[in-house]
């Protein structure tokens, strides 16, 4: 069969809501071959690298995939098992899934299933959607865990959902969450995490809000990501009552030679000590879960740049991960986006019709055989 369906589907079962949590992905293990597989899938995505194929293919296949996998594997080994066995991003995503499943099961009127899909690597988006289908979800809310919309992340996650559904016989109803960069619960949770940090470690001279970067070209082509990062930054600073010189937004994880959106996190941290800023705290509000880019790049690499340049006190404030206030905020976001998807009662009639249709088809077949 070209399209997947459930031959034994039981009409009349309760309407189940599916919530599909999506994140970027992670290699299966921190080895060079696993990284090569993962990076090939990731960096072949035209949403991530917006270059003509003839130009990008040789760079990716002849240069990057021969050099980067070993380096990235070493970086992943440094963070592997950091939050329990395996990839931090996947471990934390599973905790978020469980926390949301518990909350939504207790709060929602009807049955609900929460699944996790990774845009690259495993569990794939197709696997996660199949899990929801097997649980009987006919309505799916797609929630990419990127607070700020970027074509490279959010739109690419939606692409993966549409691609997977191309093979389905009975498509679910879909709703897509674009972003939640100014959501009150999200901002309150970020502010609470900073206040807790300050209570324990003191007020930094500057709070660096470091977001993952994207090429400058994408901003100039109309991607709202840069603006949404700044909106989050400003609203967070307002909540914390910070003066303009007590915080700044920077962009990290530059990849390739092209110019990315600025200021760069690493260059900023190298330059702050000479301006008399010796105590900083870094928060990464664009990452809903800690991962290589926060634990290794911000927690370790950039700490080195700051202290080598004469900085004295450097702290990384962890991502919201599975904090209660984060999961409460996401549960509220899910409630808001699923409003109007109430139980409906048309299914008994459909069940009836299904049974009748199948017996008629059988009878006709029998008749033809006689």
> Residues forming the annotated binding site for Fe(2+)?
212, 293
Nearer to ligand L6N33NVT, 212 or 315 (CB): 212
Return binding residues. Answer: 212, 293
- Residue 128 CA to residue 144 CA, distance in Å, equals 13
Please state the closest distance from residue 256 (CB atom) to Fe ion, in A. 12
Q: Does 212 bind ligand L6N33NVT (CB under 6 A)?
A: yes
Please state the closest distance from residue 137 (CB atom) to ligand L6N33NVT, in A. 26
Beta bridge partners of 17: 112, 139
* Residue indicated by tokens 């939504």: 104
Residue 226 contact among ligand L6N33NVT, Fe ion, none, beta carbon within 5 to 8 Å by kind? Fe ion
Please state the closest distance from residue 310 (CB atom) to Fe ion, in A. 29
Nearer to ligand L6N33NVT, 117 or 215 (CB): 215
Residue 168 is given by DSSP the state B
Q: Does 287 bind ligand L6N33NVT (CB under 6 A)?
A: yes
Nearer to ligand L6N33NVT, 18 or 144 (CB): 144
Residue 287 contact among Fe ion, ligand L6N33NVT, none, beta carbon within 5 to 8 Å by kind? ligand L6N33NVT
Residue length, the chain?
370
Nearer to ligand L6N33NVT, 91 or 268 (CB): 91
Please state the closest distance from residue 225 (CB atom) to Fe ion, in A. 8
Residue 227 contact among Fe ion, ligand L6N33NVT, none, beta carbon within 5 to 8 Å by kind? Fe ion
Identify the three-state secondary structure at position 7: coil
Q: Does 56 bind ligand L6N33NVT (CB under 6 A)?
A: no
> Do residues 232 and 187 touch, judged by C-beta distance below 8 A?
yes
DSSP-based helix, strand, coil % in the chain, nearest 5: 50, 15, 30
For residue 369, with 0-12 CB atoms within 10 Å meaning exposed, 13-18 middle and 19 or more buried, which class applies? Answer: exposed
Sites for ligand L6N33NVT among residues 69-98 (CB under 6 A)? 72, 87, 89
C-alpha Rg value of the chain to the nearest Å: 24
Please state the closest distance from residue 66 (CB atom) to ligand L6N33NVT, in A. 14
- Residue 364 CA to residue 346 CA, distance in Å, equals 27
Please state the closest distance from residue 114 (CB atom) to Fe ion, in A. 24
For residue 123, with 0-12 CB atoms within 10 Å meaning exposed, 13-18 middle and 19 or more buried, which class applies? Answer: middle
Sheet strand arrangement including 16-26: 112-121, 16-26, 137-144, 173-176
- Residue 133 CA to residue 168 CA, distance in Å, equals 10
Size of the site for ligand L6N33NVT (CB under 6 A): 21
Residue 156 contact among Fe ion, ligand L6N33NVT, none, beta carbon within 5 to 8 Å by kind? none
Identify the three-state secondary structure at position 167: coil
Please state the closest distance from residue 283 (CB atom) to Fe ion, in A. 17
* Residue indicated by tokens 């300050």: 198
CB atoms within 10 A of CB 370: 4
Residues at the interface with ligand L6N33NVT (CB under 6 A): 24, 26, 48, 68, 72, 87, 89, 146, 150, 152-153, 212, 214-215, 253, 255, 286-287, 291-293
């Amino acid at each position: 069969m070209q399209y997947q369906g459930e031959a034994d589907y039981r009409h009349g079962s309760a309407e189940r809501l599916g919530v599909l949590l999506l994140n970027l992905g992670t290699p299966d293990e921190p080895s060079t071959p696993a990284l090569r597989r993962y990076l090939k899938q990731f960096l072949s995505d035209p949403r991530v690298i917006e270059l003509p194929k003839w130009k990008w293919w040789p760079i990716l296949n002849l240069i990057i995939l021969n050099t980067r996998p070993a380096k990235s594997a070493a970086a992943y080994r440094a963070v592997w098992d950091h939050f329990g066995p395996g990839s931090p991003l996947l471990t934390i995503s599973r905790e978020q899934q469980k926390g949301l499943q518990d909350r939504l099961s207790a709060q929602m009127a009807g049955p609900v299933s929460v699944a996790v899909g990774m845009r690259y690597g495993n569990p794939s988006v197709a696997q996660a959607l199949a899990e929801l289908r097997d649980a009987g979800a006919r309505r799916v809310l797609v929630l990419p865990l990127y607070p700020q919309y970027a074509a490279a992340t959010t739109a690419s996650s939606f692409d993966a959902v549409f691609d997977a559904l191309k093979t389905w016989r009975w498509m679910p109803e879909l709703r897509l969450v674009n972003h939640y960069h100014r959501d009150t619960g999200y901002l309150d949770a970020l502010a609470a995490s900073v206040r807790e940090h300050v209570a324990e470690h003191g007020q930094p001279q500057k709070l660096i809000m470091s977001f993952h970067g994207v090429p400058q070209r994408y901003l100039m082509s109309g991607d709202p990501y840069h603006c949404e990062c700044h909106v989050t930054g400003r609203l967070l600073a307002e909540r914390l009552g910070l003066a303009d010189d007590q915080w700044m937004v920077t962009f990290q994880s530059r990849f390739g030679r092209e110019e990315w959106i600025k200021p760069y996190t690493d260059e900023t941290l190298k330059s702050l000590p000479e301006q008399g800023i010796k105590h900083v705290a870094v928060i990464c509000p664009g990452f809903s879960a800690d991962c290589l880019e926060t634990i290794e790049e911000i927690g370790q690499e950039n700490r080195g740049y700051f202290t080598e340049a004469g900085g004295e006190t450097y702290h990384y404030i962890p991502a919201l991960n599975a904090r209660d206030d984060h999961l409460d905020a996401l549960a509220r976001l899910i409630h808001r986006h699923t409003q109007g998807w109430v139980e409906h009662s048309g299914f008994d009639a459909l069940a009836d019709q299904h049974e009748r249709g199948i017996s008629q088809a059988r009878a006709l077949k029998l008749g033809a055989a006689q």
